[in-house]
Amino acid sequence: MNNQLKEFQNHLKNSKKVIALVGAGLSASSGLPTFRGSQGLWRNYNMIDLATPDSFYIDPSLVWQFYSWRRYLSLNSNPNNSHKSIIKILDQFKKDANKQFLIINQNVDGLFNKIRPNIPELFDIHGNLFTLKCTNFSCNYIEKNNFKHPLTSALKDVENENSNVTTKSPNFKPIKSIDESNLPNCPICKFLLRPGVVWFGESLPLDLITKIDNFIEDKFLMPDLILVIGTSGTVYPANSYVERVKLKGGKVAIFNTEIDDNILNGEIKNTWGFKGDAAELLPLALGDFESGFG
């Protein structure tokens, strides 16, 4: 671990272009459940029932209760040391005009924005729980930064019913079937509103995808490193960025509570693995960097 850490820190120090690809494990220490695995949100629900356009079309009451509860959890959570370390390293990179740093964030919890709103280098590729969008194709109503809770009075009991749901036992329970007229609706056309997140089968925001493509493909400055933090790497296109950075000659540093032994043993070329809680590992691994390399 120590040799790997030194090697990694040395590479980071000499890197000009770095991507941080982050997932649900980043916010685990803030008390927000991850998705997959024995302690994941999708332990007692199939993701297809909660995170597809069809699931919303079939049962908007169930899906809204799930997202109302997630909004409540996020509103009541704070960024942890891993969020703070990433912002510190971003700020270090920004001091040098020859360096670039990009955060590809799969999380929708808005925790980075509790450190600082409007971070241009932060790309929320799966959207944000606090964005609301109209479901009417001929209405383009979008509202950002809506932190009202609950959004309707019918949604107000969901968190009480789920108050014993923790990261250790994330069994979300819907409370009742709520009539569509009592779910959030569009102030312009009265159609149903939906959470501004990206579900399976939906396109990611095209502007962000194009900017990420340009960032990786820029032939004048190739990516030196991708930090892969708290993500299972199971979802496309987020997972594809790791291979693409490797193809450009960049190295990979994984921070996760679960890492394959061959990575930990240094058997995978150009890949470091650091096993543990990201909130503990990142301040340690990026420590020198935070203080300007000492």
- C-beta of 99 vs 275, nearer to ligand BJW: 275
Q: How far apart are CA 261 and CA 102, in angstroms?
A: 28
Does 77 bind ligand BJW (CB under 6 A)? Our answer is no
Q: How far is CA 240 from the centre of its chain?
A: 15
Using left for φ > 0, alpha for ψ between -120 and 50, and beta otherwise, residue 230 falls in left
Contact pattern for ligand BJW over residues 252 through 281, marking x by CB under 6 A: ---xxxx------------------xx---
Q: How far apart are CA 180 and CA 60, in angstroms?
A: 7
- C-beta of 220 vs 236, nearer to ligand BJW: 236
Pick the piece of the chain touching ligand BJW (CB under 6 A) from 31-39, 71-79, 156-164, 207-215. Answer: 31-39
Does 135 bind Zn ion (CB under 5 A)? Our answer is no
Answer with the entry of Zn ion, ligand BJW, none that 135 interacts with (C-beta below 5 to 8 A by kind): none
Contact 274, 258 (CB under 8 A): no
Does 141 bind Zn ion (CB under 5 A)? Our answer is yes
Token couple for 124? 């929320």
Contact pattern for ligand BJW over residues 220 through 249, marking x by CB under 6 A: ----------xxx-xxxx------------
ω into 237 cis (within 30 of 0): yes
- C-beta of 53 vs 287, nearer to Zn ion: 53
Active site residue 126: yes
Contact 255, 47 (CB under 8 A): no
Q: How far apart are CA 293 and CA 30, in angstroms?
A: 28
Interface residues toward Zn ion, by CB under 5 A: 134, 136, 139, 141, 186, 188-189, 191
